[in-house]
Structure formats: structure tokens, C-alpha cells
């Protein structure tokens, strides 16, 4: 079987660039189209993009002519890294036209018939897409900070039950897109507000950890309190998490649950699945974004400092790559999961 033609919407942005980069040499997908705003449209990708990745622009992408979101596309799968101000309507229009839209944007994540998926945790939720009123479909991955929180909570919630969570984030500047936060605001500074982020962190994990029942998701039954901060880190969101458990457990037990965790993508060997989805550190001073953000090619959730909490039960530190596992890599893994389940041919 030949490769499936795919497009990247928002291909000039931070997430879009990572998608273009990660799709190079993908075993199942071939990048055929790149799409962005009218500012970029009708120009070769190499000229329209302000390329910020470590590697060169992939040869197959350099000369693609950027299309606008008004244009018809040929690709079966559209990876979306569109700005949230336009993503909602554009993604819906393409899903109506028969495309499978795999989105990083917030707009449709909480729609009742849209799967919000981390394949290691809730791959069964992909079945929701069949009830959408579109010829195609929309599937979504979570907000970048939610990704690492939900991944770390997943195995704990399944085994011990969670009653309450408090999380404080320290989020990298690349999470704000390009050009993002101005250097005057972030250098030597901490900004204790990221618009809309706390609301997403307090709601999205409950959908992801929820149960599929009669064609809808029953959200997980616990409360999350989130405080989100922007810090002067380039890549990698760090989160200090405290948990109240339904079944009390020792920190060592929680650590072994997380370290031993493997999900469905690891079982079936999806191409972008990390071998170890969660890496547990014993060292007191890890994980750190500068040292650990590229573990498992940026697809790992790194967890450390798992210890008793005198207020709740357990506290720990969680960290991961916000534009890879928290965005582009997550979307590609979701598309691989959709394909592996045979939904693309339905
Ligand atoms: N950065 C992260 O860590 C992260 C993580 C998870 C999710 N997300 C989400 O992913 C999405 C993209 O984020 P980002 O950080 O990559 O943002 P970004 O760097 O600002 O990129 C936005 C992209 O959207 C395009 N765009 C903007 N206005 C448009 C319009 N009117 N019509 C068509 N295209 C338009 C831009 O094209 P032009 O270059 O032509 O303007 C650009 O390609 C957002 O919804 C964000 O919330 C981001």
C-alpha cells in the first residue's frame, strides 16, 4: 500500500513546523500540502515559513506552494496547527468535505462527539468520531500541559482512583507560538497567567480519563485545581502535582505503577509510540527540561520526585516536550491510532 497523502494546516507556525519536521520519512504518511493564512498563501513554503527548527526544512516540503484555508485539498488526513481564532470553522469545513482532521487546537476538544485522545490512555474514545455529522471526522489531542498531567494521572487513576489534584505549571515560551511572549516580558521573569490554560487543565484530563458509555464520555469524577505560569525555558513544560487518592498507596507503589506502564500503542507498535511512555527518575533533581526534554525523541512523559504529600497523599514533578508529545507528535500518534483501528477506511 502506498503512503497516505497528508496536509499540515498552520504549517508555518510552531506546531505546524514540528509537524512538517516529524512527517519527514514517516512510514505511512506523505506530506503533500501545506496550508496557512493569506499572508503566506501562494508562496513556496521555504519563503513563507520563518523556520525555527534545529534541522533543515525537509526537502519534500521546501518547494510546496502554501495554500490558503479557502482552497480545496486533496489529502485524506489534515494535521491542524491552526491558530485557535480560525481553527474551529476551518476544521469543521474540511471535516464536512470528507477529510479526517487531526487537530492540536482547543476549539473542538470538548465537543461531546469529538474524541480527545491520548492513545496510551483512552484509544477507545476514537470510536466517538463515527457519530459526528461529517463525511470526514475531527479528532483532537489535548492542550500541551494537559498531556503530561493526564498521562501521569492515567495509570494512577485506573489502579487507585483519584479524588483531587492540585497542579502548578512552569511552561516554556515555545508553548505561546511564534513570536510568542516578548523578551522584555519573559527574560529573568515568571508570568503568573496564561489565558485559558487553567480552565483547559481543569477540564480536559477529566474527559480523557472518562469512560465511554453508550456513545458518550462520562467524565472522571474528581476535581483539578491548576495554576499556570510562563517561565524563561525554551522547550518543556514542568508541572508540580499533588494528588489525593481514593485508595491510599505508598510513593514507591505509585512510582512502580508509572515506571511499568505500557499502553495500547506500545503493544501494537505504532510508529511514533515511545518505547517507555512514562520515564520515572530516582534522582532528586530530575526531570529537568534542559536535560530530559528529548527523552524518547520528545515523546516521553518524565516523572520524578514521587514522595508523600502532607496535605494530599502523593506529590511529584512531571515534565515533557510541549511541541512534540504536547502537540505535533501527539497528533501524529493519534492519526496512526486512527489508521491502525481501520477507521480511515470506514
Ligand atoms: N505551541 C504549543 O506548544 C502548542 C501545544 C499544543 C497546542 N497548541 C495549539 O496549536 C495551535 C497552533 O499553535 P502554534 O503555537 O503553532 O501557533 P503559531 O506559531 O502562532 O502558528 C499559527 C498558525 O496558524 C496560521 N494562521 C493564523 N491565522 C490564520 C488565518 N486567519 N487563516 C489561516 N491560518 C492562520 C499561521 O499562519 P501564518 O504564518 O500564515 O500567519 C500559523 O501557521 C494553536 O491552536 C495552539 O493553541 C500549541
**What is the predicted pLDDT for the residue at 69?**
98
Same domain, 178 and 292: yes
Tell me: the pLDDT tens digits for 135-146?
Answer: 999 999 999 999
Cα of 83 from ligand 1 centre, angstroms: 4
Q: How far is CA 219 from CA 168, 181, 199, 213, in A?
A: 22, 33, 15, 10
Same domain, 226 and 105: no
For residue 263, give the CATH number of its domain. 3.30.360.10
The catalytic position among 21, 99, 144, 157 is 144
Question: 304 has which bridge partners?
Answer: 317
DSSP letter assigned to residue 342: T
Cα of 312 from ligand 1 centre, angstroms: 37
Tell me: the pLDDT tens digits for 321-332?
Answer: 999 999 999 999
Same domain, 23 and 125: yes
Phi and psi based region of residue 124 (left: phi greater than 0; alpha: psi -120 to 50; beta: remaining)? alpha
User: Which percentage of the chain shows pLDDT scores above 70?
Assistant: 99
214 band by pLDDT with thresholds 50, 70 and 90: confident
Same domain, 185 and 244: yes
- 6, pLDDT greater than 80: yes
Q: Span 7-21, mean pLDDT?
A: 97
Cα of 13 from ligand 1 centre, angstroms: 5
Same domain, 138 and 151: no
Place of cell 501562494: 42
Ligand 1 site, residue 142, Cβ cutoff 6 A: no
Q: How far is CA 74 from CA 32, 71, 98, 311, 323, in A?
A: 8, 10, 10, 55, 26
In the chain, what is the greatest distance between 2 CA atoms, to the nearest angstrom? 59
- 333, pLDDT greater than 90: yes
Same domain, 233 and 295: yes
**What is the predicted pLDDT for the residue at 235?**
97
Q: Span 164-176, mean pLDDT?
A: 97
DSSP letter assigned to residue 66: P
Q: Which three cell numbers stand for residue 285?
A: 533533581
Question: 30 has which bridge partners?
Answer: 5
Determine the Cα–Cα distance for residues 55 and 117; give it in Å rounded to an integer.
29
Q: Which three cell numbers stand for residue 216?
A: 458518550
Same domain, 133 and 276: no
* Nearest residue to 174 via CA among 318, 52, 311, 313: 52
Cα of 229 from ligand 1 centre, angstroms: 20
Q: At 5, which helix (H) or strand (E)?
A: strand 4-9
Q: Span 52-68, mean pLDDT?
A: 96
228 is catalytic: no
Same domain, 89 and 199: no
Cα of 37 from ligand 1 centre, angstroms: 10
Determine the Cα–Cα distance for residues 126 and 105; give it in Å rounded to an integer.
17
Same domain, 223 and 282: yes
Determine the Cα–Cα distance for residues 331 and 324; give it in Å rounded to an integer.
9
Phi and psi based region of residue 290 (left: phi greater than 0; alpha: psi -120 to 50; beta: remaining)? alpha
**What is the predicted pLDDT for the residue at 70?**
97
Q: Span 241-261, mean pLDDT?
A: 98
153 band by pLDDT with thresholds 50, 70 and 90: very high
- Report whether 9 contacts 79 (CB < 8 A): yes
Cα of 16 from ligand 1 centre, angstroms: 7
**What is the predicted pLDDT for the residue at 313?**
98
Tally of domains within the chain? 2
Q: In whole angstroms, how large is the CA radius of gyration of the chain?
A: 19
Ligand 1 site, residue 323, Cβ cutoff 6 A: yes
For residue 123, give the CATH number of its domain. 3.40.50.720
Ligand 1 site, residue 105, Cβ cutoff 6 A: yes
Same domain, 177 and 108: no
Tell me: the pLDDT tens digits for 91-111?
Answer: 999 999 999 999 999 999 999
The torsion angle over the Cα atoms of residues 336, 118, 120 and 316, rounded to 10 degrees, is: 140
Q: Which three cell numbers stand for residue 204?
A: 480536559
Ligand 1 site, residue 40, Cβ cutoff 6 A: yes
For the stretch 140-166, what's the b/e string if a residue is b when 16 or more beta carbons lie within 10 angstroms of its beta carbon? Answer: bbbbbbbbbbbbbbbbbbeebebeebb
Nearest Cα residue to atom 2 of ligand 1: 175
Ligand 1 site, residue 9, Cβ cutoff 6 A: no
Please enumerate in sequence order all residues whose Cβ is within 8 A of that of 316, keeping only pairs 6 or more positions apart, or say none.
152, 241, 243, 254, 303, 304, 305, 306, 307
Tell me, letter by letter, the H, E, C secondary structure of 202-238. HHHHHHHCCEEECCEEECCCCEEEEEEEEECCCCCEE
Q: Report the residue among 9, 10, 322 best suited for mutation to probe ligand 1: largest number of ligand atoms under 8 A from its CB.
A: 10
Question: 302 has which bridge partners?
Answer: 279, 319
Determine the Cα–Cα distance for residues 139 and 331; give it in Å rounded to an integer.
9
345 band by pLDDT with thresholds 50, 70 and 90: confident
260 exposed, middle or buried (CB, 10 Å; 0-12, 13-18, 19+)?
Answer: exposed
User: Which percentage of the chain shows pLDDT scores above 90?
Assistant: 97
Bridging pattern class, strands 211-213 and 237-245: unpaired
Same domain, 168 and 21: no
Has this prediction a pTM greater than 0.95?
A: yes
Nearest Cα residue to atom 1 of ligand 1: 175
**What is the predicted pLDDT for the residue at 43?**
98
Ligand 1 site, residue 145, Cβ cutoff 6 A: no
Ligand 1 site, residue 146, Cβ cutoff 6 A: no
DSSP letter assigned to residue 325: I
Tell me: the pLDDT tens digits for 108-139?
Answer: 999 999 999 999 999 999 999 999 999 999 99
Supply the range of the domain harboring residue 37.
Answer: 4-143+328-345
- 346, pLDDT greater than 80: no
Mean pLDDT, the chain, integer: 97
Same domain, 127 and 207: no
Amino acid at each position: 500500500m502506498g503512503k497516505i497523502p497528508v496536509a499540515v494546516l498552520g504549517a508555518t507556525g510552531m506546531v505546524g513546523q514540528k509537524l512538517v519536521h516529524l512527517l519527514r520519512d514517516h512510514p505511512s504518511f506523505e506530506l503533500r500540502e501545506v496550508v496557512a493564512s493569506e499572508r503566506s498563501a501562494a508562496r513556496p513554503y521555504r519563503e513563507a515559513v520563518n523556520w525555527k527548527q534545529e534541522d533543515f526544512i525537509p526537502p519534500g516540503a521546501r518547494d510546496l506552494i502554501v495554500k490558503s484555508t479557502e482552497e480545496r485539498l486533496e489529502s485524506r488526513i489534515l494535521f491542524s496547527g491552526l491558530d485557535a481564532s480560525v481553527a474551529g470553522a476551518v476544521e469543521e469545513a474540511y471535516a464536512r468535505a470528507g477529510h479526517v482532521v487531526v487537530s492540536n487546537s482547543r476549539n473542538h476538544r470538548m465537543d461531546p462527539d469529538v474524541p480527545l485522545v491520548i492513545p496510551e490512555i483512552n484509544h477507545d474514545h476514537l470510536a466517538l468520531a463515527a457519530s459526528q455529522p461529517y463525511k470526514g471526522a475531527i479528532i483532537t489531542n489535548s492542550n500541551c500541559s494537559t498531556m503530561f498531567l493526564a498521562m501521569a494521572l492515567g495509570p494512577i487513576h485506573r489502579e487507585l482512583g483519584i479524588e483531587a489534584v492540585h497542579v502548578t505549571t512552569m511552561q516554556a515560551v515555545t508553548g505561546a507560538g511564534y513570536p510568542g511572549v516578548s523578551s522584555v516580558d519573559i527574560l529573568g521573569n515568571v508570568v503568573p497567567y496564561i489565558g485559558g490554560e487553567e480552565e483547559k487543565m481543569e477540564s480536559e484530563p477529566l474527559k480523557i480519563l472518562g469512560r465511554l458509555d453508550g456513545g458518550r464520555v462520562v467524565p472522571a469524577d474528581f476535581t483539578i485545581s491548576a495554576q499556570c505560569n510562563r517561565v524563561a525555558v525554551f522547550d518543556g513544560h514542568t508541572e508540580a502535582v499533588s494528588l489525593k487518592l481514593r485508595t491510599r498507596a505508598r510513593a514507591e507503589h505509585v512510582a512502580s505503577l508509572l515506571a511499568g506502564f505500557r499502553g495500547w500503542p506500545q503493544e501494537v507498535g505504532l510508529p511514533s509510540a515511545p518505547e517507555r511512555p512514562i520515564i520515572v527518575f530516582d534522582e532528586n533533581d530530575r526531570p529537568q527540561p534542559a536535560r530530559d526534554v528529548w527523552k524518547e525523541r520528545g515523546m516521553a512523559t518524565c516523572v520524578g520526585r514521587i514522595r508523600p504529600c502532607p496535605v494530599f497523599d502523593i506529590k511529584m514533578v512531571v515534565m515533557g516536550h510541549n511541541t512534540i508529545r504536547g502537540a505535533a507528535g501527539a497528533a501524529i500518534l493519534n492519526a496512526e491510532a486512527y489508521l491502525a483501528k481501520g477507521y480511515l477506511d470506514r
